[in-house]
Amino acid sequence: MELRGLTAEGCDSHGVLEEPSCIAVMAVAACSGKRPKRGADRGVAYERVDHGRELRMGDLGREELEEPVQLICISAERRGERSGVRVLGGFDRAHLHLQLAAEALDPPEDVNRVALLEATVQEIDVVPDPGLDASACVGELEGEVRSACSSAPPLLLRDGEDTFDRPIVGELGDRGHVPSLWREGVGTLAQMADVKLFRAVRYAGAAGALAELVAPPYDTVDAGERARLFTRSPYNVVHVTLPESADEAGSLYRAWLSDGILERDDEPAAWLVVEDYVGPDGVARERRGVAVSLAAEPYETRSVLPHERTHPRIREERLRLLRAIRVQPEPIFLLTDARLEIEVPERAPDLEVDATRLWRIPDLDPTALAESEFLIADGHHRYESAVELGAELGASGARVMALVVSIDDPGLQVFPTHRVFSHRRDLLDTRDGEPCADLDEALALLEEEPFARSAAVVYRRGSVELVRGSDGELDVDLVDGYGLDGIRYTPRSAEAMELVESGDADVAFLLRAPRVEEMFAVARRGERMPPKSTYFFPKPLSGLLFHPVEP
């Protein structure tokens, strides 16, 4: 038998675009009204969707199939459910509800009062997937829902989803959304993170002094500093993190390996990282963390949570580079709710540069870390690009190097990112808050404000006030309400005020430091904070350790 086509009655009035649609088919066995039972050793709770094997409707044509069935309906969103089975992963992977062709369904008796389109599917056979018990799949999927995926191709006019087109198109709008790596997972429990020790790649003695080879993270290096680092050493890591091209970086990294500039450790290990620093607030601290290898998994597994939004262009740039070099030259920065009980060894560090010291810890047990919850503090673009590369690599996936710091670490500090506006006459003249006698009074009032309500100090030449927002609103959201025109950012309040006093800026908004528990709460809700909501310092150096993306 073969699939002849799909009708298009009644769809043109809904504005559905005439472009190819991708619809995956799931076999559903008739269960005669009885509750489906799971087959032995078959589960779907965290089954990864294999996009490479999904069929488009056009691909089903002229396939040799077995049992004839007919299309009953397409569940497209919560209001369009049939028997509690909902869409998984978006409309391009919508489940088609199938029933044996011999069992004709009387439209008036349909349980969801769905008016079925006549002869929507003329002939189709489905071969059940031998790896899954179809009825068990239906039982497992009962009550689960995922939002329509923004990356879905436009709906096809001839697909004939007449009953459901309008709510789908209304929800997706112009369908110009950025592909998301966050999709609600099956159930509510987080998947255990895959944490391991790793065989690090490191600079050998032939490369020169380590201080000449390391660099700040790529996203903190401006054009001037990049030029200085390029000339400092031909082996400086910035040649790989900020190259002229991704292909050039890949060739250079492989040449460093073959020429003995870089060497790989024989045995896996974790690395204790101790950083001494003075923060933007002028306070000296010591921060401790551990560098480990982490499997890059989609956010839907909830083993790793994001807290800030990302930019598609930057993520694509990082992905192109990662494809070419297949190594992580710098760690992402993760927070964990687990306690890290690691004592600093009495021996000299294995690596030391500036105020950063590293010790190899070959006997670290990663179990406690694997069972904890991780939040990305810094490195969202690098993590998401590794997830995408892992999907391309298939079953082996991709791994990332992560510097993990406990939220209980005394040296951990999250700093605010203050907002400064220039060429904003409207903000110069606006008076929305409580006038204060001076900056000290305003900062004291800000300190007393409950975190349940947003607040900020507004600093202008000759005046200062405290502005308050709404309950449940973040401080950064309060300031973003004034718009982003003319905005710039700084973690140093003194710099923000100096810009105002010098006339380079009209107004500065001084914010409170975000709380770690607030960041976790936002992430657990599946939400993101605006960019530049947090400032973590110091940033882990690039080039101390390299981590291949594949084991």
Determine the average pLDDT of the residues in 120-133: 45
Q: What is the pLDDT of residue 325?
A: 97
Quickly name the fold that domain 196-412+537-548 has.
Answer: 3.90.1530
Work out the pLDDT band at 530, boundaries 50, 70, 90: confident
Q: Which residue has the higher pLDDT, 86 or 384?
A: 384
Domain ranges of the chain: 1-177, 196-412+537-548, 417-512
At 110 the pLDDT is: 45
Greatest C-alpha distance within the chain: 84
**Looking at residues 396-412, what average pLDDT do you find?**
95
Half-sphere exposure of 232 (CA within 13 A, CB side): 19
Q: Quote the CA–CA distance of 159 and 121 in Å, as a whole number.
A: 10
How high is the pLDDT of residue 67?
52
Lowest-pLDDT range of 6-10, 249-253, 352-356:
6-10
Residue 371 has pLDDT above 90, yes or no: no
**372-383 pLDDT, tens digit each:** 889 999 999 999
Q: Give mean pLDDT, residues 44-71.
A: 44
Contacts of range 184-187, beta carbons closer than 8 Å, 24 or more positions apart: 184/145, 184/146, 184/147, 184/300, 184/526, 185/46, 185/300, 185/301, 185/302, 186/44, 186/45, 186/46, 186/140, 186/144, 187/45, 187/144
Of 22-26, 346-350, 414-418, 444-448, the one with minimum mean pLDDT is 22-26
pLDDT value, residue 431: 86
Average pLDDT score over residue span 302-310: 91
Model pLDDT, residue 309: 86
CA distances from 210 to 288, 311, 325 (A): 21, 32, 21
Any residues with CB less than 8 A from the CB of 45 and at least 6 apart, and which?
A: 140, 186, 187
Q: What is the pTM of this model?
A: 0.65
Mean pLDDT of the chain: 76
Summarised one tens digit per residue, pLDDT across range 261-299 is 999 999 999 999 999 999 998 999 999 999 999 999 999
Residue pair 399/549 in contact by the 8 Å Cβ criterion: yes
pLDDT given at position 70: 53
Strand ordering across the sheet containing 124-126:
96-100, 67-74, 124-126
In the prediction, which pLDDT does 550 show? Answer: 85
Query: Residue 72 in contact with residue 116, Cβ under 8 Å?
Result: yes
Per residue in 459-517, pLDDT tens?
A: 999 999 999 999 989 999 999 999 999 999 999 999 999 999 999 999 999 999 999 98
Q: Which residue has the higher pLDDT, 287 or 99?
A: 287
Rounded to an integer, the average pLDDT of 408-432 is 93
Q: Which residues contact 110 (CB under 8 A, 6 or more apart)?
A: 73, 116
